[in-house]
Structure 1
């Protein structure tokens, strides 16, 4: 054997040793996430690459599914022992799996004191169960009103703060042949957002949460009052016509072209505005009713959780601590076009995002949105009835239909336990 061949053989043996010897193998962390667009993909993959750069001996593999598929697969992913970290939602959708002992607490990773330093109490409450935290908050968005500043300026309109001011603005817009409110109720969630906000404003957060859990009758007069408000602004002609045939995204060009008065959106919608018009878009929170000094906001909160089946606890703890750093959360949410709930990750907010963030911080409490604050079976059956009400406006029929769903689900749950 010549010297050259001998050296090549030594090199091959050395490479085999590197690949096969455990001490040289990279550790693997498996993450599953809901990814439906390029912004979400960039957010997760940039976070993963940043972690790998800081930890060269670790490789992150991300499995992604679109939103609806992910929700369907999530229960099985929790128990499959296939993933170390999972994306999920805060609130009731988190608590139901904690109660089933499928999600592990993280208060040994980020202590109670550290959580209080990083997040507002309303955020902590949304990931805490029986005084333990079970998820790392990573993103949230606020639902409020966006409007074209040039249109408001031309009609000498100010941002309404109270419900009465809101109605007055709607009336002036209507008189000037501008549809006051765009709503794309074909998208399912916008109609429920109206129901949620009016319920929060009229009846408070405790009532709202109890209703979401199925503990309050939909025949309650307080629900009648919520539906009356929706009925009033619909019959007044303040919603755009044929909204049941429209998607929420179809309203964006109408908004920045001054063709509608306002639209209630999550602040993720801002990334759908061309850069040239963003400075012409204004924001205000859902109006309060006269005499109210406190308010509650709809703020869906996204989190990272650790399945109880996780067997790479040290590695997972390292990643969660990394994802909790302010600069990482800020970059993650800049990619997404929404906000981090982390107090220290607000340095590069756009003016619209900053307004939304200040609205959240000023709220007495936050809720997650109907389908996150209730169990899936509940939301799946209730939300279409609220959509239908936006068209039929039949309060008595709608309340009876809602109550029938509530009682049927309660009965089914009771039978399961017997």
Structure 2
């Protein structure tokens, strides 16, 4: 038996082609580090050991080409269309499910007893109308990355609640230190602020209804979230010039103690690799502070998945491979060197401070959002992340809410039935 496997690595699509009866696997990796390559190679080796006749060859393609081709492959099929794809949990998966392009793998999930290996909140992010449609294999945490030594310098404790956060920011401002750094040159980092304030204030169900386009942005709950955010902006707690910088540019200011916190995901660990150890030791992680009392603990946790095309030519073998990719040892291999966390709770995460902190946060979470630009259609996301970025500059709630509502109407007009409102 010969298989065809697709691997996307840091802008490259690695295509492992073969001959008759091909089985293809789309795998997206966030880095092309040596550790990541070794993990993929070992995953393929172990899978081939189960099917000794398999032969693997490697052909490179750009990741963007893979993304653009996915929908065409799923809709049109053909000899070069993969059977198994890499993708994102949540709304990006659901859009394909609603188009009837993704196979229901509930039987595989139940046969492998995956309820014992994956948390309910994660299962929910790959389920639609009670059926399971994907295997989640890697995710990472979002939260506040901060300079602990700067807090110590001003006799401050890491804030656990919104009121504590305001007090910390007030003290820092008295010492001419910015509370928050953010780089919005690429727009998307600002969306993390909206996600977390809305999740902490209004909860996951409301947030998901909002990102599906079912709730207007002038809703009082959205306005309240935006006002809380504006309180930080208009108090001068964000460092200036956000639009001129990307997310990496914030960290030198944090190292120097000129800024304390930045809200970001654990891809931030890549920005800490080459700095002196004493500086790295000062950078710590803090879950986003609580806002509403008794609100369950919801997190942004962008989750990478594998899903099976409904038109897969090799269903029996594809089913075997989907089950294989859920195994804890395989998820360990696929996340090695990526600063990501294997989703299977029986898998061992990497032994780094930030991964261990992320593991604790995600395992204690009551549910997950995927991040605003993954949870909304591209047209809505493209407009909204610009509006959020501009909001950090002007802090005008009414202006931002009106712009967001216009974007919602433009993006979702006529498709409410298709997004489960």
TM range (shorter): 0.7 to 0.9
Give 3-state SS (helix, strand or coil) of 1:104's partner. coil
| Greater helix fraction, Structure 1 or Structure 2 | 1
Alignment equivalent of 1:283, drawn from 282, 285, 290: 285
* 1:110 aligns to 2:99 (yes or no): no
CA distance, structure 2, for counterparts of residue 280 and residue 394 of structure 1: 35
Q: Which moved more, 1:250-259 or 1:196-205?
A: 250-259
Alignment equivalent of 1:52, drawn from 48, 52, 57: 48
CA distance, structure 1, for counterparts of residue 109 and residue 130 of structure 2: 13
Alpha-carbon spacing, 1:100–1:341, altered in 2? closer, same or farther (3 Å): same
CA distance, structure 2, for counterparts of residue 255 and residue 127 of structure 1: 36
Is the 8 Å Cα contact of residues 33 and 64 (structure 1) preserved in structure 2? Answer: no
TM-score by length of 2: 0.85
Task: Give 1:15's aligned residue.
Answer: none
Q: Which moved more, 1:375-384 or 1:93-102?
A: 375-384
**1:314-329 correspondence to structure 2 within 5 Å:** 314-329=316-331
Task: Give 1:342's aligned residue.
Answer: 344
Q: How many aligned positions are there?
A: 393
Question: Shift in Å at residue 283 of structure 1?
Answer: 1.0
Task: Give 2:264's aligned residue.
Answer: 265
Could you list the runs of 4 or more consecutive aligned residues of structure 1 that deviate by over 6 angstroms after TM superposition?
none
CA distance, structure 1, for counterparts of residue 172 and residue 325 of structure 2: 45
Unaligned runs of 5+ in 1: 1-24
TM-score by length of 1: 0.86
Q: Which moved more, 1:331-340 or 1:240-249?
A: 331-340
Question: Shift in Å at residue 322 of structure 1?
Answer: 2.1
Alpha-carbon spacing, 1:149–1:67, altered in 2? closer, same or farther (3 Å): farther
Task: Give 2:15's aligned residue.
Answer: none
Unaligned runs of 5+ in 2: 1-18
**1:124-135 correspondence to structure 2 within 5 Å:** 124-135=123-134
If you compute each CA radius of gyration, which structure gives the higher value, 1 or 2?
1
CA distance, structure 2, for counterparts of residue 347 and residue 60 of structure 1: 28
* 1:78 aligns to 2:56 (yes or no): no
Task: Give 1:224's aligned residue.
Answer: 223
Alpha-carbon spacing, 1:213–1:61, altered in 2? closer, same or farther (3 Å): farther
CA distance, structure 2, for counterparts of residue 281 and residue 223 of structure 1: 32
CA distance, structure 2, for counterparts of residue 136 and residue 407 of structure 1: 33
Question: Shift in Å at residue 45 of structure 1?
Answer: 4.2
Task: Give 1:197's aligned residue.
Answer: 196
Alpha-carbon spacing, 1:96–1:257, altered in 2? closer, same or farther (3 Å): same
CA distance, structure 1, for counterparts of residue 404 and residue 319 of structure 2: 43
